[in-house]
Amino acid sequence: MCGILGLCLADQTANAAPELFEGSLFLQHRGQDACGITTSGPKGRFYQCKGNGMVREVLTKERLSNLVGNLGIAHLRYPTAGSSAGSEAQPFYVNSPYGISMGHNGNLVNTKQLRKYLDEDVHRHINTDSDSELLLNIFASELQKSNKSRVNNDDIFEALKGLYNICRGAYACVGLLAGYGLFAFRDPNGIRPLLIGERHNQNGTTDYMVASESVVLKAHNFNKFRDVLPGEGVIINKSGTVEFKQVVPLKSYTPDIFEYVYFARPDSVLDGISVYRTRLAMGAKLAENIKNLDIVDQIDVVIPVPDTSRNTALECAVELNKPFREGFVKNTYVGRTFIMPDQKKRVSSVRRKLNAMESEFANRNVLIVDDSIVRGTTSKEIVNMAREAGAKKVFFASAAPAIRYNHIYGIDLADTKALVAYERTEEEVAKVLGADQVIYQKLEDLIDCVKIEEKDRTITHFEVGVFTGNYITGVEDSYLQELEEVRAQNQKLSIQSAATSDANAKAEADIGIYNMGDYK
């Protein structure tokens, strides 16, 4: 899952980069692997800084000062296609036609077909394994079809229509067209989130921001905001005029439910649904089910796994009428472990990240609540730590149902075989984790917690393929196979390049021609 951001300042002499930097910090939880900013300045020139690392590491003050222009986009990457090579950091850039830069959140599922089309039919050079580079080139090739020296909004919407017809998968995107303006669009099923907001300045002008989560918009006073609809595109010209268009009919309105379970910040409202409220509801539902289990009378205390499950665990404790205790203390200087690309890093990070307080575990039967159990890496260590801290019985509840399938739309949940619930019953999962019992939320209950049925908006269906194996866009077996091959290849490369200074392994991982290398 990645984070995307776009900004158009009405004041054409102002620079967008500082605010894009601030905004990126609000989206850091969506991608910790790489980040970047592109701005568009005088003479329609692009200025860019990107690379592997967190926002504060890559986008330093000196580098930001070189990014001029009142228009800009930013990207926070959590690699879910291709590799984690620096050359796949976003935004991507193509010089033809007109100069385009783009950032993408999501995954395309028909990459093989797109790669072939770009090569054999429209002869575009693709330099990396990233699906986002394919997406940008599809857009460029569609825009090229207008065959004009200067395009207008209609041409851009027409190009988007072409893209919608060719690209399958999840995509929320923000882009810059050199000398023209900013554009954004969302896939026809609305799988990944995207919002647009306005900020009214004292001199009567309006700034615009596009972002993956509402929290950024609120924090920057873009108080009037709304979700971009599935299949909708928006163009903000450099002079500040805005045009929306439903480019293709909405296929479905099915946001990825995992945004609410784990990915998004609790203080965001996505598609009219408060992430925080859904997490509270997940806690209440879990409690409802636990009340019917034999273990309920044995539970002495409810303990969350910080950070994400805190809201859920608290509400679960309240509903169960049991004490809630912060038994694990989190070291805030260690990032999210789940989105680390490498399994070894994940395992070692759990212990560095969480520390169990004996006072809260000793001689108690504990109900540990987490948002999800994916590979089980965190959960297993956590059960171990609870026992080491003196817990008698350890019950483990998950706010999400058992995850038994690939996530294919931009959350790298690992190969199915690496999922702890893959081909395992609840009892078998409990055994692997070392827990006395594992309690999973039911899928229909999770959907109940998230759905919205209001006068002006009804969303009752979600992308839930990780739980069911049925994906909203459909997916060929060959894509799932390709995903597994890419993961295996990445694993091999990371082992090889860590173990040796093998030039070939590094070359494959580090290809890059734009703005890469030493930023000193």
Ligand X SMILES: O=P(O)(O)OC[C@H]1O[C@H](OP(=O)(O)OP(=O)(O)O)[C@H](O)[C@@H]1O
Please pick, from the candidates 52, 107, 141, 308, the single residue that binds ligand GLN as defined by CB under 6 A.
107
Residue corresponding to tokens 């970047």: 36
Contact partners, residue 68, CB within 8 Å, separation at least 6: 15, 17, 39, 41, 42, 47
Rounded distance, CA 8 to CA 446, Å? 37
> Does position 81 bind ligand GLN by CB under 6 A?
yes
Tokens for 329, please give them: 């203390």
In the complex with ligand GLN, the residue whose CB is nearer, 97 or 410, is 410
Please tell me the number of Cα atoms within 13 Å of 112 on its side-chain side.
Answer: 11
Q: Give which of ligand X, Mg ion, ligand GLN, none residue 337 binds (C-beta under 5 to 8 Å, depending on kind).
A: ligand X
Among 39, 337, 437, 441, binds ligand X (CB under 6 A): 337
Report the side by side order of strands in the sheet with 366-370. Answer: 301-304, 366-370, 394-398, 437-440
Q: Does the annotation mark 2 as catalytic?
A: yes
Binding residue per annotation — 119?
A: no
Which are the contacts of 488, defined by CB distance < 8 A and separation ≥ 6? none
**For strand 394-398 and strand 437-440, is the pairing parallel, antiparallel, or unpaired?**
parallel
Alpha carbon separation from 214 to 273, 281, 287 (Å, rounded): 11, 20, 29
DSSP secondary structure letters along 449-504? HH-EEETTEEE---B-HHHHS--TT---HHHHHHHHHHHHHHHHHHHHHHH---HH
Choose the one of ligand GLN, Mg ion, ligand X, none that binds residue 21, judging by a C-beta under 5 to 8 angstroms depending on kind: none
Among 32, 105, 254, 308, binds ligand X (CB under 6 A): 308
78 binds ligand X per the rule CB under 6 A: no
Pick the binder of ligand X from 373, 383, 391, 430 (CB under 6 A). Answer: 373
**Residue 35: C-alpha distances to residues 25, 111, 507 (Å):** 10, 23, 21
Residue 371 is assigned to a ligand binding site? yes
**Residue number, 395 or 409, with CB nearest to ligand GLN:** 409
**Residue owning tokens 């459909």:** 474
Contact pick of 159, 269, 305, 391 for ligand X (by CB under 6 A): 305
Instruction: Indicate the pairing of strand 242-246 with strand 232-237.
Output: antiparallel
Q: Decide which of Mg ion, ligand X, ligand GLN, none touches 421; Cβ closer than 5 to 8 Å per partner kind.
A: none
Question: Residue 203 corresponds to which tokens in the numbers above?
Answer: 């001199």
Q: Catalog residues that contact Mg ion under the rule CB under 5 A.
A: 308
Of these partners, ligand X, Mg ion, ligand GLN, none, which one is at the site of residue 2 (CB under 5 to 8 Å by kind)?
ligand GLN
Q: Is 130 in the site for ligand GLN (CB under 6 A)?
A: yes
Under rule CB under 6 A, which residues in 400-459 are in contact with ligand GLN?
410
Per CB under 6 A, 79 contacts ligand GLN? yes
Contact string (CB under 6 A) for ligand GLN, positions 48-77, x = contact:
-----------------------------x
- Report the binding-site residues: 308, 370-371
- Per CB under 6 A, residues contacting ligand X are 262, 305-308, 336-339, 370-379
Kindly list the catalytic residues: 2
- Report the binding-site residues for Mg(2+): 308, 370-371
